[in-house]
Amino acid sequence: MTETPKNDQGLMDSEDIHSLMNCIDAVKRILGDRDKTAQWFTTNNPHLGGAKPIEMFIMGRGHRVEQFIYSAEERGFDDRRTKDD
């Protein structure tokens, strides 16, 4: 099932953009790195139903991303995965 953007042009309004910028800052605080932050926003996230966080914002569901980020920040959870080498 493909979701439709919140408006016909797929554009976010100024409130959504402000929310996205705040989320970017929060994720950067958590991960401590600009590149990791960019990767986090463009990677499918199992905690968000398998969606990419940036796509959630485009679809008008950025509030779910916000809730997840601020909850994770409060718990000290950074969503970094460890790999067994």
CB atoms within 10 A of CB 27: 23
Confidence of residue 75 (pLDDT cuts 50, 70, 90): confident
What distance in Å separates the CA atoms of residue 51 and residue 45, rounded to the nearest whole number? Answer: 6
Residue 18 lies in a domain: yes
Residue 42 lies in a domain: yes
Tell me how far the alpha carbon of residue 51 is from its chain's centroid.
Answer: 9
- pTM for this predicted structure: 0.74
What distance in Å separates the CA atoms of residue 85 and residue 77, rounded to the nearest whole number? Answer: 22
Residue 6 lies in a domain: no
Domain count for the chain, please give it: 1
What distance in Å separates the CA atoms of residue 57 and residue 12, rounded to the nearest whole number? Answer: 8
Domain extent, residue 61, equals 14-75
Residue 81 lies in a domain: no
Residue 62 lies in a domain: yes
pLDDT at residue 5, rounded to an integer: 54
Q: Kindly tell me if the per-residue pLDDT of 81 is higher than 50.
A: no
Residue 1 lies in a domain: no
pLDDT digits (tens, 9 = 90+) for 6-58: 555 567 788 989 999 999 999 999 999 999 999 999 999 999 999 999 999 99
